Amino acid sequence: MIKKDIPFAVEIYYSSEELNESDSELLEQARAITQQAYAPYSNFRVGAAAILANGTIVTATNQENASYPVGICAERVLLSAIASQYGTAAIITMAISYDNLKGESKSPISPCGICRQSLAEYEDRTHQPIKIILAGLKGEVYIIEKANYLLPLSFTAVDMK
């Protein structure tokens, strides 16, 4: 028997003011787009913004539904929009933020399990690491070098062969 640690590093910034200009601007777009979210049931608005390899910026929000399983997270809305509009365009960086109408939005938010799986597969499909920026409307910001780091021991297409 062996024991193997699977660590990854997270860069933690005290605020978005510490970020480089590109990351700061992308995060601001993710924060701003939260206002377009359709979240009448949870009152938890999530926004995501991505910069593609060609320089295009795409944004998206979570979309809820009275039938809860029908809702879709901002991250997957964004991945779907990019794949639909730009094919297999590589994503360089994705920023994710939220506005919790029932409380504060001052700590980083992390994608749910389904979104982590979707991000990992998109990253594998395009052979391009996706830098992930996680934040609330204020407060600390986390930067993770690759989306795959969010889902160690992930299930992939290789497992189906």
Over range 45-68, report the average pLDDT: 97
Nearest to 111 by CA among 81, 155, 139, 79: 79
- pLDDT reading at 34 higher than 90: yes
Catalytic residue among 18, 25, 75, 145: 75
Nearest to 108 by CA among 61, 46, 58, 35: 46
pTM, full prediction:
0.95
Instruction: Provide φ and ψ at 157, rounded to 5°.
Output: -60, -30
- pLDDT reading at 153 higher than 90: no
- pLDDT reading at 154 higher than 90: no
Average pLDDT, the chain: 95
**Known catalytic membership, residue 75:** yes
Count CA atoms closer than 13 A to 67's CA, side-chain side: 2
The domain ranges of the chain are 20-156
- pLDDT reading at 50 higher than 90: yes
% pLDDT > 90, the chain: 89
According to CATH, what is the number of the domain 20-156?
3.40.140.10
- pLDDT reading at 155 higher than 90: no
